[in-house]
Structure 1
């Protein structure tokens, strides 16, 4: 006898826009045997509550949830609920966000222009243990990896840092103040602060000591 089909993949949807949740629900509703939406949320706190209540197979969430970070939510879910997989579904066509998503445990990074059949295909692959990346980003990621292997990237590029952010971080690790960094790079202190905020966000830290700790742990500067 043929094996019965697998049970529908149990899914929690997270987005700060009700219209997006409604659209996703309608799109996935065409595949009742493939997925079952067991919860929806518009905030990170509500998402964690839905995960705790339903223990879904996959959480589908955006990189940004209003003023909250979907990347932080991903980290909280993968840390607190190891059996639950997280896929980022977003408009951010940016490999830097992709790198950060993978660092916090995401199993996929997909752009919102995807259609229902493609999304179902990606979710099937995630269920089977694969990590999926939107084809629009996959080529750029492969090129980045090739450049990194060839030594053509700066320290921290694989973490999403720009070259200037890497330069700022190196000076922070060396003990320079914001004023000293500005003097070394011949930019204003406000510009330095902007770069520091950017590298904090990309490294997932909130202060200078956290950024330095990441840099040391990753062996970025020797």
Structure 2
């Protein structure tokens, strides 16, 4: 993709796996069309890149948690393909963990879905101007949380972006359990296990189980 230069309103593509959410955001932004204009929409991550590549928005506004691939995955893909394209994640999760993960994959903002329409427009304009948009409450808690993350005071591997469930699974991988063993012990399906492992590999920067164990031991994730 080639970066597009905005000569007027901020051009936005909305991505969510629920059409009603997309329509709600469009309705919120409609009174501000002279400042922000929705130029495309996609239901789910699988359809998003085609829309983004077609209309070349200034900002991709997407949910963090969607079925299948997440907004974090989409953000990473968008940024890898075109570093000039900005992504703002919109979420119901008032959780610094998601904020830090969003910043790690190159997001330009993390806002909560309870945001007012005029504040959303203002934040999107700030992002277009080069700023990072972060919910005020999360931003206030972030320094303390960052320090606790570095000390692994939440759960092992949290400073590497692992969720609590991913940390649990990685500990069992280090202990030598197979995929089938993981599924049986945690009472989850094989595909769920594979999905968690893919996320763990991505966050640790590895491509297989052996390398993940090596990183876990080298980094002292599990003492």
Provide the TM-score with structure 1 as the length reference: 0.75
Residues 127-151 of structure 1 deviation map (CA, whole Å, 9 limit, x = unaligned): 12222211232233221123356x4
What corresponds to 1:176 in structure 2? 175
Count of aligned positions = 207
Instruction: Tell whether the 8 Å contact from 1:96 to 1:161 is kept in structure 2 after alignment.
Output: no
Shift of the alpha carbon at 1:197? 6.8
Greater shift in the superposed pair: 105-114 or 59-68:
59-68
Instruction: Tell whether the 8 Å contact from 1:165 to 1:195 is kept in structure 2 after alignment.
Output: no
2:31 is paired with a residue whose SS is: coil
Shift of the alpha carbon at 1:9? 0.6
Based on CA coordinates, which of the two structures has the bigger radius of gyration?
Answer: 1
What corresponds to 1:47 in structure 2? 48
Q: Specify whether residues 39 and 152 from structure 1 end up closer, same or farther in structure 2 by C-alpha distance, changes over 3 A only.
A: closer
Q: Return 5+ residue gaps in structure 2 as ranges.
A: 1-6
1:106 is paired with a residue whose SS is: coil
Instruction: Tell whether the 8 Å contact from 2:201 to 2:208 is kept in structure 1 after alignment.
Output: no
What corresponds to 1:128 in structure 2? 129
What corresponds to 2:57 in structure 1? 56
Instruction: Tell whether the 8 Å contact from 2:152 to 2:159 is kept in structure 1 after alignment.
Output: no
Shift of the alpha carbon at 1:202? 5.9
What corresponds to 1:3 in structure 2? none
Instruction: Tell whether the 8 Å contact from 1:8 to 1:34 is kept in structure 2 after alignment.
Output: yes
2:21 is paired with a residue whose SS is: helix
Instruction: Tell whether the 8 Å contact from 2:96 to 2:145 is kept in structure 1 after alignment.
Output: no
Provide the TM-score with structure 2 as the length reference: 0.75
